[in-house]
Structure 1
């Protein structure tokens, strides 16, 4: 049977750790076993259990403090990840052969999947281990409330999608931190009409210098529906469920899984995702 994995990506501060924590808690209510793998050698602490931690293999501080290397933070990160790609057997041993419902792989900086082949190599290795992998690209919704910033976030998501060549779900995080006015404003970026959005918000389409380039970018995003974002509000159960549904659909989760009996003293809890979803429909 196949195993399933989310590769959680996004710029620094986009909420990767918070996303993993929220998804772990949500899946536990569905009686779905979830394991988290930390692939950030600069990470500091987590409020959830980590099944595998790259810091057990190599740690950024050790690389930076090594007198023979003398790397800075960015060079040290690249060195750590290149060392990781040479030691995939460590990850295989950590993952074992237990058919967990889902593994969340939280990565580090954005350069790892836009400029370096590290994450592409990881995806190919996971696929060889019979994982169905879905990319989850996170962008801070507070960053996306202006049109030119939205274009930047959309292009970063598109770059990761093209680089990794796997199904990808793009998510706007921290929706619970937005004001009511900002939430109303950001609606147009969740299902955007790119041309009207830019005409209303900036002078990019009116600028002769950037008009052709801006139209080409808008066409790529708008005409081909290449990039769409889902809102993620960690305080809203329905928002979390919708994001998880899209991910499950992308990796065809549930098609080969057997029914799980509920845990002791939890007979009233839904034992599968389908039962939980059906209860929400009935409500």
Structure 2
């Protein structure tokens, strides 16, 4: 049985930087992981890539040969990957042992983990191959600067959680770039009434019922919580890997 971590999140949320930090952390503590690039538009990596989707298909080739734009081309690439799971990816997975840990650095196109079924089908494929899979969703901590952005981030995360149906860890990335940490910390465990009050102050009265429903959704089900991650601090990465280990049963500390 293998282990897999799907690193997802919006473009620019720091997924590749997180993957690099995770790889360096595992090297430091003597744990071996394998980095897999699933982004057909990626160009540079700060970690060694053991399997690369660009060996199968690249966004540049699709745009040049089929005349597609970047968004449609990326969806095409991922659907091509889906069509070749039992051929190309099967062959790639033969290079790993049963207890290996794979980290999949995914594209940042939000459709892929909210409503387009490609990643969901990819997850089902990994499960059929006896992988224990978890999802790590990254959100730029600088994005969570007020209540409306926080709610937006929560809804996107919840959408991915429902779509993929995986053990799910939410991370606030780039904490080292946040000048006022309290602005972010206020949203790590917010109270529904505080959220509702802030939303109502910023939005027109006609949205108050919607605000109440959203605040209660975040609070009542307690499904969306974020772990702050500062890659400069080893203790921060240890906290994150410990949380991930509880989802997969594989320690990376």
> What secondary structure sits across from 1:191 in the alignment?
coil
Find out whether 1:155 has 2:155 as its counterpart: yes
Compute the displacement of 1:145 (Å): 1.3
TM-superposed CA distance for 1:214, in Å, is: 1.1
Question: d(CA) in 1 for partners of 2:157 and 2:41?
Answer: 22
- Give the equivalent residue in structure 1 for 2:9: 10
Shift, 1:196, TM fit? 0.6
Report the TM-score when normalising by structure 2. Answer: 0.95
CA displacement at 1:119 relative to structure 2: 0.4
Rounded Cα–Cα distance in structure 2 between residues aligned with 1:178 and 1:124: 37
Q: Taking structure 1 as reference, are residues 81 and 71 closer, same or farther at Cα in structure 2, changes over 3 Å only? A: same
C-alpha distance after superposition, 1:170-212 (max 9, x if no partner): 0000001111xx20111111111132134246525x7431111
What is aligned with 1:227? 224
- Which residue in 2 is equivalent to 1:183? 181
Contact kept in structure 2, 1:146 and 1:201, CA below 8 Å: no
Task: Answer with 228-237 or 87-96: which moved more.
Answer: 87-96
Q: How big is the shift at 1:152?
A: 0.5
Q: What CA RMSD, in Å, does the superposition of the two structures yield over aligned residues?
A: 1.5
Q: Distance in 1 between matches of 2:64 and 2:200?
A: 46
Contact 1:140 1:174 in 2 (8 A): yes
TM-score when normalising by structure 1: 0.85
Which has the higher Rg, Structure 1 or Structure 2? 1
- For the residue of structure 2 that corresponds to 1:144, the secondary structure is coil
- SS of aligned partner of 2:221: coil
> Any unmatched runs of 5+ in structure 1?
255-271, 274-283
1:100-119 mapped onto 2 (5 Å cutoff):
100-108=99-107, 109-119=109-119
Give the SS at the match of 1:126.
helix
